[in-house]
Amino acid sequence: MTVSQNIEMLLTNRPASYVPGHTLERLLGFAPRPDSEIFHLNMAMHYGEGAVAGGIRALMAFYGVRGPFADFMFTGIRLLIDQSLENWTGVGAPPWYVDLFMVVDSTGATVFSCREFHVVGVSRSVV
């Protein structure tokens, strides 16, 4: 979770989302549990998706796909990973359900995409 998402949650009083944890719970075939018992699954899903997305971003940088257009492309890739898994498992909202959450989620993915470029871009230029 990015710092900007933590700030947004403080300002809007929005509770933490356990959708990633419930998604992993379904993917692994575990019995449904309450939010209070899936913190470890939530973190595993966040780190796991981040690792997969980071690998994709690293490949993009390796093959020269960089800059603002790459940030834009990666935002779509990041949302595709997230929303596809959530909808495939039945945990997420339907794709046509647009509200403030989708705006917040898209903004968070955009911030993640831009930050990921700078981390991968810097490490790629050092190597």
CA 107 vs. chain centroid, Å, equals 11
Regarding pTM above 0.75, the answer is no
Q: What mean pLDDT is reported for the chain?
A: 81
- Residue 72 has a pLDDT of 87
CB atoms within 10 A of CB 45: 22
The model's pLDDT over 87-118, given as tens digits with 9 standing for 90+, comes to: 899 887 665 555 666 666 667 677 766 665 55
What gap in Å lies between CA 34 and CA 49, rounded to an integer?
Answer: 22
Kindly indicate the confidence band of residue 14, based on its pLDDT and cuts at 50, 70 and 90: confident
The residues spanned by each domain of the chain are 17-126
Half-sphere exposure of 39 (CA within 13 A, CB side): 3
